[in-house]
Amino acid sequence: KVKDAVQMFLEKQEQRNLSEYTLRDYRNVLSLFVDEYAEARISMIKPMDCKKFVQEKVSQNNRKHRQIYLKAFFEFCCGKNNPYCEDEAWLRKNPVNWELPKIEANEITCLSYDDIVKLLRLSFQKGLLGFYVFRLFSMMRREEHLRFVEIGGNKVEQNNYINLDERRITINNQVYKKRSSYENRGRHYNEIEDTFMEWLHYLKDNNIPISATKRDEQLIRNLVKGKKRNILRHTAITYHTLKFRDPMRTAYVAGNSVEMIQRHYLNMNVPKDDIKRFFELTPTKAKEIGIID
């Protein structure tokens, strides 16, 4: 039955190194599918049933999410990485067998230089400067940053992953929990850029933490611009890519691919002057323009 197969699939997914957001989306989408087809046999689900379920949503993004997660579930039912299949798969063919129409992509959301100045000024007032400086220069995912702080330490001087002498930040497999069969998979931020180095020394000298609660982050980000969850990472990757003109370098530090940066993270319309001013925004400059005291 669908409800039993979904439960088995979710149990398998929870054993993987998926982000909390991906797991949440799997649960949300498949729980809705169970609401409609709980008692139905897997073999009785037809392509038109799947298409109808996906297209219930008006938003193209929501349809895309439904299609991706539903298709992954039925791949499991067809035997892909399914430990519950004994002699043969539950299904011979995936019923999610069509593609959504392509749509024109919207511009990638990114903070302007003025937005960044406002954000850092507010974060200083709220005692969250270290968190926002670190996110804007390190390009880490939020989940990675949480593990980076939890395992490594909440202060620059204490953090085991930060080596100022070698100008290096290490993001190992305990922090970088992407899906992979490679146990030692990770990355380094080698030769930390000069402005970021000055900020790290400032945070160290002033004993400023680099963490923030989820509520703090959402509140202060909403005061600046929008509610998009990944706007800090979009901004960090965009500015780094446009500054150094080396997408491979940016992709390695950010922990993704050049293709992913081009498709989902890079805003090509950020003015050159914004890029220049951002990488001139040292603690000294921040004091001059009233971001910090």
pLDDT in tens, the chain (293 residues): 999 999 999 999 988 877 777 889 999 999 999 999 999 999 999 999 999 998 886 677 788 889 999 999 999 999 999 998 877 899 999 999 877 766 555 678 889 999 999 999 999 999 999 999 999 999 999 889 999 999 999 999 999 999 999 999 999 888 886 655 444 567 888 889 999 999 999 999 999 999 998 888 887 777 776 556 788 999 999 999 999 999 999 999 998 899 989 888 999 999 999 999 999 999 999 999 999 99
Determine the Cα–Cα distance for residues 129 and 269; give it in Å rounded to an integer.
27
Amino acid at 193: E
CA distances from 208 to 51, 199, 269, 280 (A): 52, 11, 33, 21
Biggest CA pair distance of the chain: 71
The total of other beta-carbon atoms located within 10 Å of residue 48's CB is 10
Q: What is the rounded distance in angstroms from the CA atom of residue 93 to the CA atom of residue 211?
A: 47
Contact 30, 69 (CB under 8 A): yes
Please choose, from the candidates 119, 113, 117, the residue with its C-alpha nearest in 3D space to the C-alpha of residue 226.
Answer: 119
The pLDDT score that the predictor gives to residue 19 is 74
Q: How far apart are CA 220 and CA 122, in angstroms?
A: 7
